[in-house]
Structure 1
C-alpha cells in the first residue's frame, strides 16, 4: 500500500466556495483540469487529459465517496498505461475565516513503473502546484 502523499494548505476562502471549486466542472476548468464529463454523483466515472492539444495521459476516475462540504474521494487511473488504481481524497475543514484543504493520494507507488513523470516526487510537486498555486490563486483573488 505504501505511504500516501498528503498535501495541506489553508485557503483564505469560505468552505462553500472551496467545495464548489472542487466539485463544479465549470470552476474546475479555471484552476484544475477540463473534466467535461464530471458529475458529482457516487459511482460516476470521469475522464480528462493533461492540458494542451496532444491528449497526453488519459486520466480516468470514479467517484467513490461524497460528504458534501467535507470530503470527495475518487479513484485515479491511467487506463491506457496501467491496470493499477490509486485513490485521491479531498478533505475540507473550516479554519478561522478560511478553509483547510487536505489532499491524500493513496497507493501512488503503483505507478512507479510507468516512468519518471509518475514517481512519488512528481505527484507531490504536481499536487503542491495545483493546490498551493492554482487553487489558492483562483479562490483568493
Structure 2
C-alpha cells in the first residue's frame, strides 16, 4: 500500500526564483545537496551523497518529468542498500505573495526493511527540514 509523504510550505519568493533554486545545481548546493551531475533533462540520472565526509548514503535519481516553473518529478533510490525505487515530486503553485511548494514522496514503504534512517518519520523530518528551513531560509534571505 502506498501512503505518500506530503510536505507543503509557502515561500515568500516568486515561482521563477523557487524553480531556479530547485533546478540550478550551483544554487542547490547552497540549500540542498551538492549534485555535480545534475542536468535538467527528462531521462537524465543524477547522484549524490548526504553532506559531510561519511558518504554513507548514495542517492541515485532519474528525472521523470519537467514542467518549467511548476513541476519536477524524479526517482529516488539507494542502490547499495535496496532495489526499491521511490518517486519525489516537487510542485510549485504561484500565490499572491509567493509560492506554495508541495513535495510528495511516494512508495517509501520499499525502504521499510532498511531501518530507522529510512523510516517514514525520518523522511518526513528530513523533508520538513529541507523545505521548511533550508529552502525557505535560502530564498527568503
Is this a same-fold pair by TM over 0.5? Answer: yes
Q: Which residue of 1 aligns with 2:14?
A: 14
- Structure 2 residue matching 1:83: 3-state secondary structure: coil
RMSD: 0.6
* CA apart distance, 1:54: 1.5
- Structure 1 residue matching 2:129: 3-state secondary structure: helix
Task: Give 5+ residue unaligned stretches, structure 2.
Answer: none
1:54-93 aligned at under 5 Å gives the runs 54-93=54-93
Q: Which residue of 1 aligns with 2:109?
A: 109
* CA apart distance, 1:2: 1.5
Q: Which residue of 1 aligns with 2:29?
A: 29
Q: Distance in 1 between matches of 2:42 and 2:62?
A: 8
Q: Distance in 1 between matches of 2:34 and 2:124?
A: 21
Q: Distance in 2 between matches of 1:35 and 1:56?
A: 15
Q: Distance in 2 between matches of 1:18 and 1:70?
A: 10
1:94-105 aligned at under 5 Å gives the runs 94-105=94-105
Q: Distance in 2 between matches of 1:65 and 1:44?
A: 10
1:78-136 Cα offsets, whole Å, 9 max, x none, are: 00000110000000000112000000000011101001000001000000000000000
2:45 matches 1:45: yes
* CA apart distance, 1:44: 0.2
Q: Which residue of 2 aligns with 1:2?
A: 2
Q: Distance in 2 between matches of 1:121 and 1:109?
A: 12
Structure 1 segments of 4+ aligned residues over 6 angstroms from their partners: none
Task: Give 5+ residue unaligned stretches, structure 1.
Answer: none
| TM-score, normalization by structure 2 | 0.99
Q: Distance in 2 between matches of 1:97 and 1:42?
A: 30
